[in-house]
Amino acid sequence: MSDTVWEPHTVVTEELLDPAPVAALAALFDDGLPAPAPGDPLPPLWHWVALPHWSTSSQLSVDGHPFRGSFLPPIELPRRMFAGGSIAFTGVLRVGDTVRREAVVESVTEKSGRSGKLTIVVTSTVLYAPDGTPAVTEKQNLIYREAATPAPGAPPAPETAATMVPAGPPLDPVGEGAWDFRTDPTLLMRFSAATANAHRIHYDWPYATGVEGYPGLVVHGPLMTLSLAETHRLSGDAETVTALIHRNAAPLFCGQTATLRAQRTASGKTVELFGPAGVEGGAGTVLDLTLN
């Protein structure tokens, strides 16, 4: 971290659960379910879309994220990864509600791993319903890492087959409790817009490959996690999600093959995302749902 004096502080805001990005996410999924309308309960995790925060252009750093050192600590490591978290749903939020958000950085831990230095930041957020009761209590784990060394020369051009052909709806049922998960640059751009996410690794191929050293555009961690949660709605299961834990263990790149698989557990349901290596390669993203 830099020498900048920084202390964690609670940020309190009053925010609208905006119907517009909610409708945008429903259009993105295009899965045949009705879009949540004003007054309808907000599906689990959709607050990530319903509470977008658009930073002013002058606040954005070279990677597209806001400059660090205000809410988040002034970490100098360039690569940011959405690593997972946990959420408890103790109340109901409805599209169009005005909610109070209280957010704070809970911890900052510096480590050294096989890939070099990394910093783990844990944030805590509580969303209060209009009646003042806590409805969502969330912890998020963010990991900052050193950049990979890009290959010499110009970044490779995108593969036409993987990036030029529209993927259509991202979730395609392929069997009981199984879906293919398909991505293309348009899907990533639309999700970035719906969530006010300006991180360049999701839409800027030369930056993602030539600066941060990725092999292609990176699929958003929240998009993968939201897609896992959406399978519960698609199943038609009437059980309510009361809590969840999500873990992002490996990245997925635009156009890569991926499959989602759901199975019942003693407390509810586990949904996993498997990348190009399939089950043998292990799950890249896991969502554990507690149901009631």
Q: For residue range 277-292, list pLDDT tens digits in order.
A: 998 888 999 999 999 9
Number of folded domains that form the chain: 1
207 domain residue, yes or no: yes
pLDDT digits (tens, 9 = 90+) for 202-248: 999 999 988 888 889 999 999 999 999 999 999 988 899 999 999 99
pTM for this prediction: 0.89
Contact 268, 216 (CB under 8 A): no
267 domain residue, yes or no: yes
pLDDT digits (tens, 9 = 90+) for 92-143: 999 999 999 999 999 999 998 777 899 999 999 999 999 999 999 999 999 9
CA distances in angstroms from 242 to 195, 260, 269, 275, listed in the order given:
23, 21, 12, 28
77 domain residue, yes or no: yes
Write the single-letter amino acid at 77. L
224 domain residue, yes or no: yes
- Residue in this structure with the two tokens 């993203």, named with its chain if needed: 285
Which carries the bigger pLDDT value, residue 167 or residue 258?
A: 258
Q: How far apart are CA 242 and CA 257, in angstroms?
A: 31
- Residue in this structure with the two tokens 């263990």, named with its chain if needed: 249
- Residue in this structure with the two tokens 């930041």, named with its chain if needed: 121
111 domain residue, yes or no: yes
4 domain residue, yes or no: no
Q: Sorting pLDDT into bands at 50, 70 and 90, what band is 182?
A: very high
* Domain around 80: 11-291
- Name the nearest CA neighbour of 84 among 226, 225, 263: 225
For the domain that residue 208 is a member of, what is the CATH number? 3.10.129.10
Residues 6+ apart with CB under 8 A from 7: none
Q: How far apart are CA 107 and CA 126, in angstroms?
A: 16
143 domain residue, yes or no: yes
90 domain residue, yes or no: yes
CA distances in angstroms from 254 to 1, 89, 197, 231, 240, listed in the order given:
31, 31, 16, 20, 32
Instruction: Say what the pLDDT of residue 161 is.
Output: 44
E strand or H helix that includes residue 21: helix 19-29
Q: How far apart are CA 18 and CA 98, in angstroms?
A: 9
